[in-house]
Amino acid sequence: MSDNEDAKELVDLTTGIWRLMVEAILQGMKDGTIRKDIDPVEMSIYINVMSMSALNIDIGFKLILEGRGIHPGKFWEDLQRFLDPAITNRSLID
């Protein structure tokens, strides 16, 4: 495979995963679990950027979190706890 073919395959895989996320958000909007006042494409990009940043967290930040007793599992749980109210249908929260 040439470099261009490898790059195309990577783009295709990334696009496929991203499309699944958009479709999941749309399904959540349809079934009422996700708010309808958000843009599904924009939200999928936010989630992707936050997830990639959290996966590639700077070593300095890792040390700070570790020093505060925040292990990776808790960090991911907290990220979800912060994100859920942003996308969850408010009638399900109250």
Q: Which amino acid is at 12?
A: D
Instruction: List, for residues 37-68, the tens digit of each pLDDT value.
Output: 999 999 998 988 898 899 999 999 999 999 99
Q: Which domain holds residue 11?
A: 3-93
Query: In Å, what is the CA distance from 7 to each residue of 4, 12, 60, 80?
Result: 5, 9, 31, 31
Give the burial class of 1: count Cβ atoms within 10 A of its Cβ; 0-12 exposed, 13-18 middle, 19 or more buried. exposed
What backbone torsions phi and psi does residue 9 show, to the nearest 5 degrees? -65, -40
3-7, 56-60, 83-87: which has the minimum mean pLDDT?
3-7
Run of H or E including 82: helix 72-87
pTM higher than 0.75? no
How many domains are there within the chain? 1
